[in-house]
Amino acid sequence: MLIVFAIWLLLVVIAPLSLPRDSVQDLSGTVGEIENGEQFDSMNPLAWVVYTIGDMYCHQISDRSLYLNENQMPLCSRDLGIFIGLVAGMLLAILLNIRISILLFILILVPMGIDGSLQLLTGYESSNLIRLITGLMAGTGVALIMSRLARQVLDVYDENPESIHP
């Protein structure tokens, strides 16, 4: 999973760098739709794929996104934080053998839940730094809990290889 998350994060960072400066602006839209296809048509194939996936996966609201090479990133700042956190969490789990409890996992998600809910339900707007940090926390928590679950499955398999059937 670390390799998959790291490759995706690298592609998200490379995509705006691979395009002419200031050529991707205001991708604001909704989740689950490709709304910026015309803007993507002139992109190189790598950027086209990454931005199209971003358009489907993320709202890409301009004010909630970071810019690299003066181009809007393919994902908003919270989603970028989540993917950074997924990579960081997997590295922590692998290199430092960090294990996380379910309670700590839930507590790590609370700041993102509060921040996102307040923005959805009130006139509150958090900063991109807060969105990035809460996404980073959530992504790290998800990676650590995924690692814990994977270890539990492997431990069961080590104890009784016949218990897991292909």
- What are 34-70's pLDDT values in tens digits? 888 888 989 999 999 999 999 999 999 999 999 999 9
pLDDT at 99: 83
pLDDT at 159: 66
Per residue in 102-144, pLDDT tens?
999 999 999 999 999 999 899 899 999 999 999 999 999 999 9
Three-class SS string for the chain? CHHHHHHHHHHHHHHHHCCCCCCCCCCCCCCCCCCCHHHHCCCCHHHHHHHHHHHHHCCCCHHHEEEECCEEEEEEHHHHHHHHHHHHHHHHHHHCCCCCCHHHHHHHHHHHHHHHHHHHHCCCCCCHHHHHHHHHHHHHHHHHHHHHHHHHHHHHHHHCHHHCCC
pLDDT at 100: 87
pTM: 0.87
Q: Where are the domains of the chain?
A: 2-75, 79-163
